[in-house]
Amino acid sequence: MSLLEAMIGLFGGIRFQVVTVSDFGGTQLLPDACVETLEVLELYPCDPHGEQSFLKDAQVLADDFIASSSVQDFDLSRNKSLRTLRVTASSIDDAFRGGSASIFLKHVVSTVTSPRYLEVMIVHREEDFHGITSRRYQGQPSLSEVSEADRAEEALKHHRRFEVLREVRRARDFQPVLCAKVCGSVGDYSVRMLKEAVADEKSKGGFKDFRSQPVVIYDPHRYLVRRYREG
């Protein structure tokens, strides 16, 4: 018996509504233990610390994740209250070139049988916006002007992510929700860039097969706000 199984037995079962999974080894037990209550499942395959990590080795972690046989065994068919799958933008970004992101998400989505399942939320953080990070490295915190090259590279990344979502939708339809989970002026910039990316994609005929158009929301990252104030 694993430690996790022992803890669940000690508490007489668990009834979590939100579960975060960053390492699939043995974590099938968590969704199975919350079959009647689980509503939101956060999948962070290349981010073992959730939304608070800024990893440089995402490629290695992503490769290890996809290579694991436990991924194909992951099954959400018993969770009847599940309504949202939440993933980080980095998990469907360049680290998954070659179709691995599509394989990962398509498998997970195909196992969902919950009648309440509605959306896949893609959480964007500061490092997902190239124009911001490049200017930070150059010691230019102002976001008033971002180079055309940076904007073009950023638009291409968004397009690649949208392509992954379109591929995943074939397993089961959902509403894509784009969440800018950053703070301050970075948040204003990121929401603007996300809305521009969606508008551009719609102009090219994208999203017409989805049940509804993408929703862009701004969710300030409270952890970072607190850390900056305390620092």
Res. 75: pLDDT tops 60: yes
Give the confidence band of 23 by pLDDT, cuts at 50, 70, 90: low
pLDDT in tens, 180-222: 988 777 788 889 899 999 999 999 888 988 878 899 999 876 5
Q: What is the mean pLDDT of the chain?
A: 77
- The per-residue DSSP string of 159-226 comes to HHHHHHHHHHHTTS--EEEEEE---HHHHHHHHHHHHHHHHHHHHTTTTTTSSS--EEEE---HHHHH
How big is the CA angle at 179 (ends 97 and 207), to the nearest 5 degrees? 65
Give the confidence band of 83 by pLDDT, cuts at 50, 70, 90: very high
Percent of the chain with pLDDT over 70: 71
Q: How far apart are CA 145 and CA 88, in angstroms?
A: 26
Number of other CB atoms surrounding residue 85 within 10 Å: 22
